[in-house]
Amino acid sequence: MSDNDQSESTETERIAKRIARAGLCSRRDAERWIADGRVVLNGSVVTTPATGVLPTDSIEVDGKPLPAIQEPRLWRYHKPSGLVVTARDEKGRSTIFDRLPPELPRVISVGRLDLNSEGLLLLTNDGEIARKLELPSTGWTRTYRVRVRGRVDADRLASLADGITVDGIRYGPIRAHVDNQQATNAWVTISLTEGKNREIRRVMDHLGYSVNRLIRTSFGPFQLLNLSRGGVEEVPGKTIRDTISGQRQGKAQSKWAKAKPKAKRPASRKSKKGPPGKSDPAEKPPGRPTGKPNADRRR
């Protein structure tokens, strides 16, 4: 056995993280499973998610061996309206997982979109990736095209840049501007970084604008672009390494770090981009921003 192999065989990680990296769930879900007594380590029920495990340890979840850690993968998915983002719905409604292509491996979503919301949703086979990208500390901007009822006051939208409190809940800075005002409706582009539960709908209702359509067009560097409704497209591995590897921890990070670094290009004076969410004010097909595609578009 080489020195490297020996060091790897004695390196421990928290069992909740190990379960998340196997793609079964997020780390938060793994912690709940452990609290429910569903996880067994080397024949004994695990009582704390902080338990350290070795690569050689035997782990079972619900009586089944934990799957081997797979290479991290990520997909862009155009969620249609009318589907819930959950593995099982207590009301019997259709879920996104009922509609995904059968050839996809088991995946989990990065965050959620409401039943009546549509647009970009990221899917991954790695629970640790999902957890990292969901955290507000990641700071990635989510951009939406929103259709609201009524005539919109641009000054009231601009005031959202300072944040707003609605029904005792404090929402952080929101960038919003009108793209197209019609007789009874307006299309508005909204960008935010927190993404609290039903944040946009609640803030717009507070301002007196009822949301009748909400489409997420980007999540950090990943864009909806022209992905068809219900369509799924895998993000190239190189893009994952370039955009996510800096946020990873543990062995997976060191594994990705072995990839050949991208050669630096001299800065171009014409390479400046506008702020996320910038779009042509003219009416465009919803969910198809007019800016330049980002790095996750296949070539």
Q: CA separation (Å) from 94 to 57, 80, 115?
A: 38, 11, 10
* CATH number reported for the structural domain that contains residue 172 in this entry: 3.30.70.1560
Q: Same domain, yes or no, for 118 and 151?
A: no
Backbone angles phi, psi at 14, to 5 degrees: -65, 140
Positions annotated as catalytic residues are 114
* CATH number reported for the structural domain that contains residue 28 in this entry: 3.10.290.10
Q: Same domain, yes or no, for 8 and 154?
A: no
Q: CA separation (Å) from 210 to 88, 117, 202, 207?
A: 29, 14, 9, 9
* CATH number reported for the structural domain that contains residue 85 in this entry: 3.30.2350.10
Q: Same domain, yes or no, for 105 and 229?
A: yes
Q: Do the domain assignments include residue 91?
A: yes
Write out pLDDT tens, residues 140-165: 899 999 999 999 999 999 999 999 99
Q: Same domain, yes or no, for 101 and 226?
A: yes
* Structural domain containing residue 122: 74-136+221-243
Q: Same domain, yes or no, for 106 and 236?
A: yes
Q: Do the domain assignments include residue 145?
A: yes
Q: Do the domain assignments include residue 293?
A: no
Three-class SS state of 183: coil
The mean pLDDT value for 266-279 works out to: 41
Among 65, 93, 111, the domain-final residue is 65
Q: Same domain, yes or no, for 112 and 148?
A: no
Q: Same domain, yes or no, for 106 and 53?
A: no
Of the pLDDT bands very low, low, confident and very high (cuts 50, 70, 90), residue 24 is: confident
pLDDT in the model for residue 45: 96
The structural domain count of the chain equals: 3
Longest Cα–Cα distance in the chain: 74
pLDDT in the model for residue 273: 41
Smallest CA-to-CA distance from 174 within 188, 161, 193 is with: 161
Other CB atoms closer than 10 Å to residue 167's CB: what's the count?
7
Q: What span, in angstroms and rounded, lies between the C-alpha atoms of 26 and 37?
A: 17
Q: Same domain, yes or no, for 132 and 79?
A: yes
Q: Same domain, yes or no, for 46 and 166?
A: no
Rounded to two decimals, what is the model's pTM?
A: 0.71
Q: Same domain, yes or no, for 59 and 196?
A: no
Backbone angles phi, psi at 158, to 5 degrees: -60, -30
What does pLDDT average to over the chain? 81
Q: Is the pLDDT of residue 293 over 80?
A: no
Q: Same domain, yes or no, for 132 and 145?
A: no
End-to-end distance of the chain based on CA atoms, in angstroms?
42
Q: Same domain, yes or no, for 19 and 159?
A: no
Q: Do the domain assignments include residue 254?
A: no
Q: Is the pLDDT of residue 277 over 50?
A: no
Q: Is the pLDDT of residue 195 over 70?
A: yes
What is the DSSP pairing of strand 142-149 with strand 210-219? antiparallel
Q: In what helix (H) or strand (E) does residue 239 lie, and over which residues does it extend?
A: helix 237-244
Q: Do the domain assignments include residue 57?
A: yes
Of the pLDDT bands very low, low, confident and very high (cuts 50, 70, 90), residue 245 is: low
Among 20, 47, 65, the domain-final residue is 65
Of the pLDDT bands very low, low, confident and very high (cuts 50, 70, 90), residue 265 is: very low
